[in-house]
DNA sequence: GTCGCACATTAGACACCATCCAAATCAGGG
DNA sequence: CCCTGATTTGGATGGTGTCTAATGTGCGAC
């Protein structure tokens, strides 16, 4: 995701220590962190970073299409840096664990014109829910 | 939905003016109201009903499977009395208008075993997003 | 019809998530 | 190196939802 920093600089982003740190936190393994979790991890690298800046930066990354907001959790929004490979989510109803999934077929194609009511449909979000192996054993 | 009141009484629900009013608000045309919107409409019929009771009652209706919680909105949960006919939702990204839709196919079947990661998958929520005719004209 | 009590309702406090704000700071072009 | 507009900051504010202790009530038992 160091490409990310390049791309953003190209778009006129002023580069600050805070923004670099937020980008670092989102980089690497596929995560689905809440804003608060991002803040906690960012503080570990840059103790004085504020919550407001984390929210600001996440909001900008979302506007720029570099990060997705996902609402799998009925509590806080989660931020998904895997924005360039379309995918959906599988969520454990018990513990909240989230996995990226890639279903067969295209759900957009499954919505016939007669069910579009004149909308211009541009996007579809699919959330599978179930019980993960860990929680199944515990039950 | 007066059947609903019968069904609930049969399940040992104590019938109160407050619960009757909440059921009335959800009855009729297919709506997707937030808890606060339900409260506002309930107050019109029974001025002294409290927010807490609306939340309690909605929670009970959800537990009983008579109402669905939908997360189309990234802000407040919405309550869907159309719980007995499986369907999904089409949401206007601009104005938030929600329509029930019935896509072809079964999204659950589109999730291959190799993409289930050992989860017992029981449910899928599909949200289509786009621009409604009204907002398209206004643009 | 009355009584009693388990269940239901209430107001308001509280918790959590997110946004807003005005003042201080800073990145980076000139 | 300076200047200026963009960025950051702590704290206030707002929206959504839960909890609690006090009060009220539906409805089965009699
Ligand atoms: Mn993801
Ligand atoms: Mn619906
Ligand atoms: Zn789990
Ligand atoms: Zn619209």
Same domain, A56 and A99: no
Do B103 and B37 share a domain, yes or no? no
Residue ranges in chain A assigned as alpha helix (H): 2-10, 17-26, 35-45, 51-63, 133-138
Percent of chain B with pLDDT over 90: 81
**What's the confidence (pLDDT) of residue B17?**
97
3-state helix, strand, coil in chain B (%, to 5): 40, 20, 40
pLDDT reading at B114 higher than 90: yes
Q: Is there a contact between A129 and B116 if contact means CB atoms under 8 Å apart?
A: no
Q: Cα(B54)–Cα(B67) distance, rounded to whole angstroms?
A: 13
Contact present, A91 and A72 (Cβ < 8 Å):
yes
The confidence score (pLDDT) of residue B37 equals 97
Cβ–Cβ pairs < 8 A, chains A and B: 131
Instruction: List the A61 CA – D8 C1' distance (angstroms).
Output: 17
Query: Is a pLDDT exceeding 70 seen at residue B2?
Result: no
Do A7 and A70 lie in one domain? The reply is yes
Identify whether residues A71 and A97 lie together within a single domain. no
A62 with A123, same domain: the answer is no
- CA distance readout (Å), A52 to A44, A48, A62, A124, B99: 16, 12, 15, 30, 35
Q: What is the DSSP letter of B107?
A: G
Least Cα separation, residue A96 to chain B (angstroms) = 12
Q: How confident is the model at residue B1 (pLDDT cuts 50, 70, 90)?
A: low
D24 C1': nearest CA residue: B16
CA nearest neighbour of B113 among A90, A32, A123, A24: A90
pTM of the entire predicted model: 0.92
| Segment B21-28 mean pLDDT | 93
CATH number of the domain that residue A20 is part of = 1.10.10.10
As ranges, strand D nucleotides with an atom below 7 A of a protein CB are: 6-11, 15-20, 25-27
* Residues A6 and A71 reside in one and the same domain: yes
pLDDT of residue A1: 52
Residues A73 and A49 in one domain: yes
Residues A41, A72, A65, B33, CA torsion sign? negative
Do B41 and B94 belong to one domain? no
Minimum-distance residue to C18 (CA–C1'):
A55
Percent of chain A at pLDDT exceeding 90: 78
**Strands in B94-138 per DSSP E:** 98-101, 120-131
The structure tokens listed for B124 are 């899928």
The CATH code of the domain that includes A106 is 3.30.1490.190
Same domain membership, residue A92 and residue A73: no
Average pLDDT over chain A, rounded to whole?
Answer: 93
Over residues A15-37, the mean pLDDT reads: 94
What average pLDDT does range A46-73 have in this prediction?
Answer: 95
Q: Are B43 and B98 within one domain?
A: no
Residue A75 pLDDT > 70, yes or no? yes
**Cα distance between residue B57 and residue B23, in whole Å:** 9
pLDDT tens string B85-104? 999 999 999 999 999 999 99
Stated in angstroms, how far is A36 CA from D23 C1'? 40
**B44 and B110 part of one domain:** no
Does B28 or A13 have the greater pLDDT score? A13
Per-residue tokens: B57:
């009652």
CA of A87 vs chain B CAs: smallest distance (Å): 11
In the structure, what pLDDT confidence band is assigned to residue A33 with cuts at 50, 70 and 90? very high
- pLDDT recorded at residue A2: 61
Mean pLDDT on A78-98: 94
pLDDT beyond 90 at B125 = yes
Q: CA-CA distance, A43 to A18, in Å (whole number)?
A: 10
Enclosing domain of residue A39: 2-80
Closest CA to B113 of A71, A46, A101: A101
pLDDT digits (tens, 9 = 90+) for B45-67: 999 999 999 999 999 999 999 99
Q: Which residues of A fall within a CB distance of 8 Å from B93?
A: 122
Which letter does DSSP use for residue A12 in this model? T
What pLDDT, on the 0 to 100 scale, is given for residue B5? 87
The count of domains in chain A is 2
């Amino acid at each position: 995701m160091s490409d990310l920093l390049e791309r953003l600089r190209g778009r006129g982003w002023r580069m600050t220590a805070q923004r670099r740190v937020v980008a670092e936190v989102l980089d690497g393994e596929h995560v689905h962190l809440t804003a608060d979790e991002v803040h906690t991890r960012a503080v570990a690298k840059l103790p004085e970073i504020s919550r407001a800046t984390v929210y600001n930066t996440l909001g900008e990354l979302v506007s720029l299409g570099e990060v997705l907001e996902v609402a799998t959790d009925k509590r806080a929004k989660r931020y998904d840096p895997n924005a360039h490979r379309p995918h959906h989510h599988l969520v454990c109803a018990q513990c909240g664990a989230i996995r990226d999934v890639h279903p067969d077929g295209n759900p957009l194609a499954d919505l016939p014109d007669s069910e579009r009511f004149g909308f211009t449909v541009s996007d579809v979000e699919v959330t599978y829910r179930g019980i993960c192996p860990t929680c199944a054993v515990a039950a």
